[in-house]
Amino acid sequence: MSDKRLKVIVTRRLPDAVELRLKELFDTELNQSDEAFSADQLVDAVQRADVLVSTVTDQVDGRVLSKAGEQLQMIAQFGAGVDNIDVQTASERGITVTNTPGVLTDDTADVTMALILAVPRRLHEGIELMDAGKFDGWAPTWMMGRRLSGKRLGIIGMGRIGQAVARRAKAFGLQIHYHNRKKVSRPVEEELDATFWDSLDQMLARMDIVSVNCPHTPATYHLLNARRLELMKPDAFIVNTARGEVIDEAALANAIKDGKLAGAGLDVFEREPAVNPDLVGLPNVILLPHMGSATVEGRVEMGEKVIINIKTFADGHRPPDRVIPAIL
């Protein structure tokens, strides 16, 4: 297939340099409005495109793919997660799916660590007090938070980002614990001085801070449900920069309001962009607008990976970041 004739449809605005390069290489149709595609717009796109450049806001499910034209040969996801794409159905229809792994590891881990610091130390509350002009001077019991050094951090999902979080947290004196589908290699465990927990329930009951760094899959949907949140200590904190669906937001809000958890830092939400109203305004909760991976450098690198995947595919080779469907 000649890449000069490739019809590439991009669903959201990308960095200028990335869009320019896409237009140079392919017959590229950009989304100048940057509004998320509706289901009908996605159907129209897959009926016309050779390659769809999708993002996490696009639900490329079985219904959309069932209406795809025979010319659609590739879905190049601008992002590491592909839970918005029915990869199994795409594979059955002969459509190659790629993503952009590894690029955003440090960016996401930085924001995770920022929340791990900010929530226990009540930094956002301090900022709000200063903005409101309510600082009347230092006092011994004023704005007391929790010390990080020596506390136990439980990481759910010890992949690239989980390990990057662990490295940062270790530098702050946190003890590293983790729950994963399987243990990481011995050299990694030794480097991080990390303790593996086969039982998530047992780990949760003993942690001071829990960081969610696993993908959203059917197996991880509401992994942290009301029952598991009940296991946690009342002075424990939760940070989530992975996927909102991993936590039952209603149960989390209830636990925090009832004093069964000390607080939370969330960059992702169960029904994004909607946020559970019971979480809004809580003094011990920090809510961020899914900005964990939002750096100029990261976004450009993501775009470069998308281009490499498309170009490699167009040249008749296997894309470096091809996503293989999970074996059920």
- Is-catalytic flag, 272? yes
pLDDT the model gives residue 4: 52
Number of H helices and E strands in the chain, helices first, is 12, 12
pLDDT the model gives residue 3: 43
In 17-55, which positions are buried (b, 16+ CB within 10 angstroms) versus exposed (e)? ebbebbeebbbbbbbeeeebbeeeebbebbeebbbbbbb
Q: Could you report the average pLDDT of every consecutive run of 10 residues in the chain (328 residues)? A: 76 97 96 94 97 96 96 96 94 96 95 98 96 95 96 97 98 98 96 98 98 94 98 98 97 98 98 95 96 96 98 96 78
pLDDT the model gives residue 325: 86
113 CB neighbour count, 10 Å cutoff: 21
- Is-catalytic flag, 290? yes
pLDDT the model gives residue 5: 79
Instruction: Identify the active-site residue in 21, 160, 179, 243.
Output: 243
Tokens 């200063």, residue located: 130
Task: Give me 233's structure tokens.
Answer: 């200590």
Task: Please choose, from the candidates 156, 144, 153, 159, the residue with its C-alpha nearest in 3D space to the C-alpha of residue 176.
Answer: 153
> Is the whole model's pTM more than 0.85, yes or no?
yes
Strand partners, 51: 8, 74
Residue 225 near residue 251 (C-beta atoms within 8 A) = yes
Where do the domains of the chain lie, and which CATH numbers do they carry? 3-101+295-314 (3.40.50.720), 105-287 (3.40.50.720)
pLDDT the model gives residue 280: 97
- Is-catalytic flag, 243? yes
Q: 160-171 and 105-118 helices cross at what angle (nearest 10)? A: 40
Instruction: Identify the active-site residue in 93, 152, 222, 290.
Output: 290
- Terminal-residue alpha carbon distance, the chain: 32
Instruction: Identify the active-site residue in 125, 189, 191, 272.
Output: 272
